[in-house]
């Protein structure tokens, strides 16, 4: 058998093919050594002796083998020489490395014959150049006999044969030590293809274990769009395809312009069919065209090197910006544009780098920031008094500097501009959100310093700086922000005391101190505050002014207190209901309970002979030093009213006013913005509270438990009642009625909460109290003819389920209202609510024309005395009413308001009128007629919007009246939702109405609630996602982010419910994957936005989501990240106690360190558990 079975039958070169008779002999030929021949040995010996004879004569070492001696092998010899030359070049490169390597190897032989040949040759030649004796000795070694030498050299063999091989008899001891041969001893080769000779391809295969092929495959993998090269390519501007001589109109296609030739007769030979364009024809004729000589060259250059085109564009822009700021260094916008242009410049290739550098250049964030910083410093040199440039510089420095250095820079800036309220707001927010330097007392004193400084500017006592416009409004905004900061930090007693003090300071100021500066007035106010006299909201409060008068006369006469109070004493020992619960759970329960009960400042009760030492919790006492610096003067009556309504909202009373934009999202910390109160059951009359998203005082709980008690405990309710009684003394007429409306709305909100909680027992008790209050308010002489109060009372009866009683109240109010008709705003509003409530009782639109709602709306249009519904409506009256509504609407739309106050009342009247007319058309004609009215009115208002709504936004921004267009859109969408509930109607009109409205009013929470309510039923989320994405990019508000996250979370919940349902084999109809990652991405983008960074609600939602996924470590990391941005929010720490119960002590220590209010220290909890 042959050594290589695949080549057993192969003939030797130069021999004829072997026959079958010689097979047995040939099979044993491999045992002999046919490559050795005596002729070759003799030739080798002869050559060696010749070389040896030449050496003593000091002849140069020239190879003696001639071409005649290598008779037939000249071609082979040439190739060997070329290969040896190549190897010599390589050898020189790595000479030092090889030298050291071979010293360590000693005499061990290499497996690669070519390497060995190269090594010996190089040694021979080197020694020949340097020392001839060494060269001779080396040659003697080389020419020693074959038995003693390990090598047979191909160059030394005269007759080159195919059987040449080498013998290596020296053993290698390393083979005993290691599993395989040394890799340097294995001959290297390159494999071509994956096959192997001698195998049956059908039955056998070989798997080559090689990493090189895998590496090649990895390298050849096509690049994705997000790789570095592709991102660079996508960021470069494309070459515009247009003709510069023609205007670039947005046409649907790229036009091809034909040029007529001057001499068509010459072109017939080269263009017989007339298909070539003129430039091609000229070229075929062998002529040249000047215009076409240059254009192709330029095009070629731009195609070959697109970077040149882009670079020239960028260079031009850089030059333009530099020219702008050089020629007009006072232009702040130009500097700001130049700064923002740096981002665009860094996205493209550098115009200053060479071609090689462009590839290697690293576009780091630090480089951009440093460039921007340099530009801003140049800008500040030219405009040293500009605040915006300095603020932009400080914002950039946040990336570089440590917090202490930044605070010093801020302090310098505030020192230079102490009269700038906008700067103060940014400074306060910056200090408030610095976790490392944050503590509640520091920030509270900083608020006091800010308000004291601005008050000094306002008084004129700070002569160095003038009063800027809008300072008074900004001062009130900062004051309210301070109160919310204290509430969120858990110091609710201080926040309530601040409001109490400022209301007393402004509304009950004695005439004798009115001319003094603010600080002088505060000095007079301090004795009153420390006197122990009842304050606003406390029983028997008379105010500062009355106290001062009485002090001048000799003081009050002490009266015996009434003993008719049935105080419900709360036994502190009963705070722990179940001691078997975990420690963290008990702590949260007691903390929540004390937050709800102890939000009022503690005062010693003189009737019980209490002193300040009797207070168990010193934190419940508020010292004058904590609130004195924050007292300010408000001369504007609108701002004074805003202060009162802000206090009422702080206590949980719904009012028409909203917070100032500057502190809207910082104060937002409650997850109730997604709750649509009775929205699903009653779309037309769903209650919308203006200030959702905020914890009212005394309601602070974790995200998961959300146990909100309805209203306040007894002390709190009495406090609110006393506040209203004091405020009724301050106002009369319309303002007093508005306060009555607020109070009744507060009672209705508690009833609605009872309905939501489905607590019938509580609802019954609350209903009795609310009805009693409503009747008492209506008994007041000023309120007897006030239709808004009658409307609320009737609505209260309706909510309690007393529909017949409610109808009687409505009818009584309508009869009493007189014959104002459509021109009376209150009558319109009353009729609209009455009709809406009646419509919600309908089960379908069939027979709606004979309903009570049509009767109400017809009587309103007739402007006659109201007659209660008798069961029928005449068709003639319906037609008359339609004409009346149409004319009234036209009159209002064409009317121009005289004053701002008229404009607001007209806007309210227009909304009510449009609501009545649309509802009337819906009942008598159909939904399309109602939608048409809304569409026409919206179109008219949109056209006249800049003129009509500008003043409302500026002068009445304090009250924040919703614009007419916004209110009409809300009515429109509510009507469509109701119609879809009672009959079949496509979703698209409602979706389109909502999307248009939300693009216009991206901060309207009611519209967003409706939008996510209709989208949750949609199979595909792509439309909603595109819409959310568009709004979040264009709008600066936070609501789109919050509702986008909520919509995705609702979708995730729905998907999980479908997948978990135990109904056998389920094929999910919602093809959703990666929802978790999508929601996390939305959160990440939201918290990086300007308004989202410092919004406690957003961080709470994010933390809750991660905790719900069970990612404890990530949640903990996120908690600390949230604290870096919102260290003042106590609710975040309470959430953390629930999510990470093992770290209770650590969290409480952190709260204590930052001076947040901890009502139950761990030591007290241990004592309570021991009892």
The 10s digit of each residue's pLDDT in 865-905 is 888 888 778 888 889 989 988 998 888 888 765 555 566 67
Give the contacts of 249 (CB within 8 A, at least 6 positions apart): none
pLDDT of residue 72: 43
**Residue 301 in this model has a pLDDT that exceeds 50:** no
Q: Which of 433, 649, 483 is nearest to 1092 (CA)?
A: 433
| pLDDT tens-digit map of 568-595 | 444 444 667 777 888 888 888 888 888 8
Task: For 930-947, write each residue's pLDDT tens digit.
Answer: 999 999 888 888 877 654
Q: Count CB atoms within 10 A of the CB of residue 476.
A: 21
Per-residue pLDDT at 909 exceeds 90:
no
Higher pLDDT, 952 or 207: 207
Among 300-314, 347-361, 678-692, which range has the highest average pLDDT?
Answer: 678-692
Q: How far apart are CA 584 and CA 564, in angstroms?
A: 40
748, two tokens: 């209705």
CA 1113 to chain CA mean position, Å:
22
Give 699 or 933, the one with higher predicted confidence. Answer: 933
pLDDT of 960-997, one tens digit each?
Answer: 345 788 888 889 999 998 998 888 888 889 999 999 98
Q: Decide which of 52 and 1148 is more confident.
A: 1148
Inter-axis angle of helices 421-432 and 471-488, to 10 degrees?
Answer: 10
pLDDT given for residue 467 in this prediction: 86
Nearest-angstrom CA–CA distance, 1122 and 1022: 30
Q: Which of 102-106, 768-772, 841-845 has the highest mean pLDDT?
A: 768-772
pLDDT value at position 1042? 93
Computed over every residue of the chain, the mean pLDDT equals 76
The pLDDT value given to residue 1150: 93
Of the chain, the percentage scoring pLDDT greater than 90 comes to 17
Neighbours of 660 (CB within 10 A): 21
Phi, psi at residue 856, to the nearest 5°? Answer: -60, -50
pLDDT at residue 901, as a whole number: 59
Of 128-142, 154-168, 345-359, 1138-1152, give the range with the top mean pLDDT: 1138-1152
Predicted local confidence at residue 1147, as pLDDT: 92
In 3-state terms, the chain is what percent helix, strand and coil (to 5)?
Answer: 60, 0, 40
- Tell which residue, 923, 932, 931, has the closest CA to residue 878: 923
The answer to whether residue 627 scores a pLDDT higher than 80 is yes
Residue 321: pLDDT band (50, 70, 90) is confident
Q: Can you give the pLDDT at residue 1026? A: 92
Can you tell me the mean pLDDT for 705-719?
80
Question: pLDDT at position 161, please?
Answer: 56
User: Mean of the pLDDT values across residues 1120-1138?
Assistant: 92
Q: If you search the block for the tokens 């409302």, which residue do you land on?
A: 952
The sign one gets for the Cα dihedral 349, 355, 360, 365 is negative
Q: Point out the least confidently predicted range of 246-260, 296-310, 520-534.
A: 296-310
Neighbours of 379 (CB within 10 A): 26
Q: What is the mean pLDDT of residues 231-235?
A: 75
Task: Tell me how far apart the alpha carbons of residues 444 and 943 are, in angstroms, rounded to a whole number.
Answer: 47
Q: What pLDDT band is residue 157 in, cutting at 50, 70 and 90?
A: low
Buried b (16+ CB within 10 A) or exposed e, 587-613: bbbbbbbbbbbbbbbbbeeeeeeeeee
> For the chain, what percent of residues have pLDDT higher than 70?
72
**63 with 51: CB under 8 angstroms?**
no
In this prediction, residues 264-275 reach a mean pLDDT of 66
More confident: 703 or 161: 703
Decide if pLDDT at 133 tops 70: no
| CA dihedral sign, ordered 385, 387, 389, 391 | positive
Write out pLDDT tens, residues 630-647. 999 999 888 999 899 889
- Report d(CA 442, CA 944) in Å as an integer: 49
Q: Are 1143 and 1120 in contact (CB under 8 A)?
A: no
* Cα-to-chain-centroid distance, residue 800: 42
What is the rounded CA–CA span in Å between residue 35 and residue 137? 29
Distinct helix (H) and strand (E) counts, the chain: 48, 0
Q: What does the radius of gyration of the chain's CA atoms come to, in whole angstroms?
A: 46
Q: Cα angle vertex 512, ends 510, 513, to 5°?
A: 80
> Is 349 exposed, middle or buried (CB count within 10 Å of its CB: 0-12, 13-18, 19+)?
buried
Per-residue DSSP letters for 881-929? Answer: HHHHHHHHHHHHHH---SSHHHHHHHHHHHHHHHHHHHHHHHHHT-HHH
- Residue 745 corresponds to which tokens in the numbers above? 């709305």
pLDDT-derived band of residue 164, with 50, 70 and 90 as boundaries?
A: low
Q: Quick check: 648 and 723 in contact, CB under 8 A? A: yes
Q: Is the Cβ–Cβ distance between 94 and 88 less than 8 Å?
A: no
Q: Is the pLDDT of residue 455 over 60?
A: yes
Report the pLDDT averaged over residues 488-497. 92
Mean pLDDT throughout 311-332? Answer: 84
User: Measured between alpha carbons, how far is 531 from 978 in angstroms, rounded to an integer?
Assistant: 58
* DSSP string computed for 995-1022: HHHHHH-TT-HHHHHHHHHHHTT-S--H
Lowest mean pLDDT among 350-354, 488-492, 551-555, 595-599: 350-354
Residue 1122: which pLDDT band, with cuts at 50, 70 and 90? Answer: very high
1003-1055 per-position pLDDT tens digit: 888 889 889 888 887 777 888 899 999 999 888 889 999 999 999 998 888 88
Predicted model pTM: 0.72
Residue 529 in this model has a pLDDT that exceeds 70: yes
Residue 635, both tokens:
């001369």
pLDDT of residue 35: 61
| H or E stretch at 614 | none
pLDDT at 109: 41
Burial environment of residue 835 by CB neighbours within 10 A (0 to 12, 13 to 18, 19 or more): buried
pLDDT above 90 (res 495)? yes
pLDDT at residue 556, as a whole number: 53
Q: What is the pLDDT, as a whole number, of residue 153?
A: 59
Top pLDDT among 610 and 564 is at: 610
Query: How far does CA 353 lie from the centroid of its chain?
Result: 35
Q: Tell me the C-alpha distance between 866 and 522, whole Å.
A: 56
Predicted pLDDT of residue 666: 87
484 closest CA partner among 636, 713, 691, 715: 691
């Amino acid at each position: 058998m042959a050594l290589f079975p695949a080549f057993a039958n192969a003939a030797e070169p130069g021999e004829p093919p072997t026959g079958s008779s010689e097979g047995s002999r040939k099979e044993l030929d491999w045992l002999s050594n046919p490559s050795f021949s005596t002729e070759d040995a003799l030739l080798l010996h002869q050559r060696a002796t010749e070389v040896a004879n030449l050496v003593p004569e000091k002849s140069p070492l020239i190879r003696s083998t001639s071409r005649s001696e290598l008779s037939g092998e000249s071609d082979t010899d040439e190739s060997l020489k070329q290969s040896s030359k190549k190897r010599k070049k390589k050898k020189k490169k790595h000479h030092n490395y090889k030298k050291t390597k071979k010293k360590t190897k000693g005499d061990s032989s290499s497996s690669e014959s070519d390497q060995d040949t190269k090594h010996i040759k190089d040694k021979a030649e080197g020694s020949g150049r340097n020392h001839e004796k060494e060269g001779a000795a080396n040659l003697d070694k080389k020419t020693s006999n074959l038995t003693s030498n390990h090598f047979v050299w191909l160059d030394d063999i005269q007759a080159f044969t195919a059987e040449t091989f080498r013998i290596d008899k020296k053993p290698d001891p390393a083979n005993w030590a290691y599993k395989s041969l040394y890799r340097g001893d294995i001959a290297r080769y390159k494999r071509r293809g994956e096959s192997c000779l001698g195998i049956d391809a059908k039955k056998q295969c070989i798997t080559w274990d090689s990493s090189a092929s895998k590496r090649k495959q990895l390298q050849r993998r096509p690049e994705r769009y997000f790789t570095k090269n592709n991102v660079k390519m996508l960021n470069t501007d494309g070459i515009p395809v247009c003709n510069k001589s023609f205007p670039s109109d947005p046409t649907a296609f790229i036009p091809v312009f034909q040029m007529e030739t001057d001499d068509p007769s010459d072109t017939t030979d080269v263009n017989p069919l007339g298909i070539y364009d003129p430039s091609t024809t000229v070229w075929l004729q062998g002529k040249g065209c000047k215009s076409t000589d240059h254009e192709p060259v330029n095009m070629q250059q731009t195609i070959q090197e697109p970077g040149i085109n882009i670079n020239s564009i960028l260079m031009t822009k850089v030059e333009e910006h530099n020219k702008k700021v050089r020629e007009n260094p006072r232009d702040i916008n130009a500097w700001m544009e130049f700064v923002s242009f740096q981002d665009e410049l860094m996205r493209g290739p550098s115009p200053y780098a060479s071609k090689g550098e462009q590839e290697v250049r690293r576009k780091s964030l630090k480089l951009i920031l440093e460039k921007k910083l340099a530009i801003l410093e140049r800008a500040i040199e030219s405009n040293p008094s500009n605040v915006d440039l300095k603020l932009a510089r400080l914002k950039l420095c946040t990336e570089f500097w440590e917090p202490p250095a930044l605070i010093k820079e801020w302090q310098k800036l505030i020192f230079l501009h102490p009269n700038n309220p906008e700067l103060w707001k940014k400074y306060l927010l910056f200090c408030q959100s610095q976790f490392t330097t944050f503590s509640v007392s520091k920030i509270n004193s900083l608020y006091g310093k800010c308000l004291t400084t601005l008050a000094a500017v306002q008084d004129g006592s700070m002569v160095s700086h003038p009063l800027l416009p809008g300072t008074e409004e900004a001062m009130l905004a900062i004051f309210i922000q301070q109160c919310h900061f204290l509430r969120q930090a858990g110091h609710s007693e201080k926040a309530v005391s601040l409001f109490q003090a400022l209301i007393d300071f402004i509304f009950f100021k004695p005439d004798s101190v009115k001319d003094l500066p603010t600080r002088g007035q505060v000095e007079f106010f301090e004795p009153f505050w420390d006197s122990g006299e009842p304050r606003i909201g406390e029983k028997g409060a008379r105010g500062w002014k009355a106290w001062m008068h009485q002090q001048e006369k000799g003081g009050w006469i002490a009266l015996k207190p009434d003993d008719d109070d049935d105080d419900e004493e709360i036994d502190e020992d009963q705070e722990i209901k179940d001691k078997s619960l975990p420690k963290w759970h008990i702590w949260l329960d007691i903390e929540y309970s004390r937050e709800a009960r102890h939000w009022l400042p503690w005062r010693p009760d003189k009737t019980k002979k209490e002193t300040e030492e009797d207070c168990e919790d010193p934190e419940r006492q508020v010292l004058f030093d904590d609130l004195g610096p924050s007292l300010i003067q408000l001369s504007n009556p609108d701002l004074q009213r805003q202060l009162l309504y802000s206090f009422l909202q702080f206590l949980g009373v719904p009012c028409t006013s909203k917070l100032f934009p500057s502190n809207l999202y910082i104060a937002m910390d409650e997850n109730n913005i997604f709750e649509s109160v009775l929205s699903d059951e009653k779309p037309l009359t769903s209650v919308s509270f203006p200030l959702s998203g905020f914890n009212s005082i005394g309601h602070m709980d974790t995200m998961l438990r959300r146990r909100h008690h309805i209203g306040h405990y007894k002390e709190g309710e009495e406090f609110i009642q006393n506040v209203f009684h004091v405020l009724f003394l301050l106002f009369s007429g319309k303002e007093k009625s508005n306060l009555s409306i607020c109070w009744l709305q507060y009672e209705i909100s508690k009833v609605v909460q009872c309905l939501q909680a489905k607590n019938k027992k509580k609802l019954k008790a609350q209903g009795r109290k609310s009805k009693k209050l409503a009747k008492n308010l209506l008994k007041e002489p000023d309120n007897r003819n006030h239709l808004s109060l009658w409307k609320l009372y009737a609505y209260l009866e309706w909510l309690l389920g007393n529909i017949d009683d409610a109808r009687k109240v409505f009818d009584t109010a309508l009869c009493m209202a007189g014959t104002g008709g459509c021109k009376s705003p209150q009558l319109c509003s009353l009729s609209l609510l009455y009709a809406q409530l009646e419509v919600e009782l309908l089960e379908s639109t069939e027979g709606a024309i004979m309903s009570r709602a049509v009767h109400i709306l017809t009587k309103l249009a007739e402007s006659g005395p109201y007659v209660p519904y008798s069961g029928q409506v005449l068709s003639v009256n319906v037609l008359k009413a339609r004409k009346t509504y149409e004319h009234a609407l036209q009159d209002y739309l064409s009317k121009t308001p005289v004053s701002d106050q008229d404009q607001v009342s007209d806007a309210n009247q227009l909304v009510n009128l449009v609501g009545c007319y649309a509802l009337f058309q819906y009942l008598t004609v159909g939904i399309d007629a109602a939608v048409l009215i809304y569409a026409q009115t919206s179109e008219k208002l949109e056209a006249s919007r800049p003129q009509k709504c500008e003043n409302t936004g500026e002068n009445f921004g304090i009250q924040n009246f919703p614009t007419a267009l916004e209110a009409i859109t809300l009515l429109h969408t509510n009507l469509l939702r109701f119609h879809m509930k009672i009959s079949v109607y496509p979703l698209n009109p409602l979706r389109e109405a909502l999307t248009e409205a939300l693009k216009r009013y991206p901060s309207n929470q009611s519209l967003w609630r409706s939008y996510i309510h209709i989208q949750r039923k949609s199979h595909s989320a792509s439309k909603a996602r595109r819409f959310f994405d568009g709004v979040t990019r264009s709008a600066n508000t936070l609501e789109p982010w919050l509702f986008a996250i909520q919509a995705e979370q609702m979708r995730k919940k729905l998907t999980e419910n479908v997948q978990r349902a135990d109904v056998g084999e389920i094929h999910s109809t919602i093809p959703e994957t990666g929802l978790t990652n999508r929601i996390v991405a939305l959160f990440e983008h939201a918290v990086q936005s300007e308004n989202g960074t410092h919004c406690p609600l957003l961080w709470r939602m994010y933390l809750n989501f991660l905790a719900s996924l069970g990612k404890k470590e990530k949640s903990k990391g996120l908690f600390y990240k949230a604290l870096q941005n919102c260290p003042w929010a106590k609710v975040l720490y309470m959430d953390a106690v629930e999510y990470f119960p093992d770290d209770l002590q650590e969290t409480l220590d952190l709260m204590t360190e930052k001076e947040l209010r901890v009502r139950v220290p761990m030591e007290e909890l241990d004592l309570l558990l021991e009892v």
